[in-house]
Amino acid sequence: MKKRNPIALLPIGVFLVLYLGLGILFEYILKIEMGFYNIPIVIAFLVAILVACMQNRRVSFDDKLGIMAKGLSDKNIITMLLIFLTAGAFVGVVGRSSAESVAYFMLSLIPAKFAVAVLFLVACFVSTAMGTSVGTITLITPIAVAVSNASGFSMSLCIASVMGGAMFGDNLSFISDTTIAACNGQGCQMKDKFRENFWIAIPAAATTLLLILFLSFHTSLSGAIVKEYHLLQIIPYVLVLLGGIIGINVFVVLLIGIFSGSIIMLITGSVDFTELLSRMGSGASGMFETCMVAVLVSVLCALIREYGGFEALLSLIRKAFKGQKNGQLGMGLLVSAMNIATANNTVAIVMANPIAKEIATEYGITPRKSASILDTFSCIIQGILPYGAQMLVAITAAQELGVKLSAFDIIPRLFYPYLLLVSSLIFIYLVPAKKAK
């Protein structure tokens, strides 16, 4: 056991102060649009690594490079990077039109009074199949605006329903970057984490749906929205979703999605071969920053662990949270704090992973449970952050269509994240948990 050394946690503090401080400056003082996302997170991590390298003078720089290299040698890191890139390629192939087809297909089948419920369900399906909450919100928010304008439903309710559904899929999807990060960081199978999460997320989603329906029945309607859709373009999503639930290897599932999506997009004439390759490359490129963050966090955490920083943090958690159930809550609060500071649930999970793994070992928490807690609590916080990417993208997409909304118009109607928190706490404290062997 390494000696406790709280000073070893300084690089994390430097990163949080730098990233959060500049984010607040850009977003709220300088009024820069999407201010938090103009901060180069890779540079912030590089500064933190520089601070870590300047600590512990008794260890030579060459030895520190060796420690950092060991941090990258874990096969879970390599697996995570490869899945990120493959998932990006899949999303690039299926594109916007496939997600829109899902929405308009369901809206054409179901009466107008259920339109907001349809938006929630579509967002749940699309985000689970695509593995991206931001992508889902970008695609479905314009449809939500059209539904509100055509039917008379509250604009904030329509957009909040899309955001809630998007966070449902972000939490459950087999190809979500949060799922990939949590499962690989905790060393569990994605299908096992899915089964653990499923029974937490479904009650929250079902209750959200009932609330939306209750509000819908008390709204007077004026019309509906109808638009063309292509049923064939839904197939890649369905194949990826079914493959993940069955338990097929995630790489095989993604390759099936890429292949089927490519064939369908070419047959329907949506793209030519050159554009298809370009989309595939753009999708993978969109994951580069996430990959770099995973690499840099692994390097930083290797140094902090070597210096005794994790032992200091674990000692604090041991004092504050006694017993397995409280240990689970401590793990959830840890990733929540990281998420509030970084406004990015994937980064929060990657940062919390090594500490959470130590907590899981200490308290006898199974890998599937710890992965579920990390993913769930990070999605709860990310789903309601006024300066999170999901909220900012939803507001921006609405503004582009002439709708003026603030985050605080939407936050009261974000039923799903609040209910997911309630469901999570019930499962932590009232449902008996298996002890790790």
**What is the predicted pLDDT for the residue at 76?**
66
- Which position has the higher pLDDT, 201 or 115? 201
**Percentage of the chain surpassing pLDDT 90?**
20
Query: CA distances (Å), 90 to each of 133, 256, 273, 375, in order?
Result: 15, 9, 15, 22
Mean pLDDT of the residues in the chain: 83
Q: Are the C-beta atoms of 353 and 378 separated by less than 8 Å?
A: no
Per-residue pLDDT band at 362 (split at 50, 70, 90): confident
Nearest-angstrom CA–CA distance, 184 and 79: 7
pTM of the model: 0.74
Nearest-angstrom CA–CA distance, 414 and 378: 15
Residue the block writes with tokens 């928010």? 141
Residues paired with 435 in a beta bridge:
365
Which of 76-85, 153-162, 280-289 has the least mean pLDDT? 76-85
The conformation of residue 154, written as its DSSP 8-state character, comes to -
What is the dihedral angle through the alpha carbons of 197, 198, 201, 207, rounded to the nearest 10 degrees? -160
Q: What is the largest distance, in Å, between two alpha-carbon atoms of the chain? A: 73
Nearest-angstrom CA–CA distance, 428 and 437: 19
Give me the residue spans of the domains in the chain.
6-429
50-59, 139-148, 240-249: which has the highest mean pLDDT? Answer: 50-59
Q: Are the C-beta atoms of 428 and 325 separated by less than 8 Å?
A: yes
Percent helix, percent strand, percent coil in the chain, to nearest 5: 80, 0, 20
Listed in sequence order, the residues at least 6 apart from 13 whose beta carbon sits closer than 8 Å to its beta carbon are: none
Both tokens assigned to 389: 């990417």
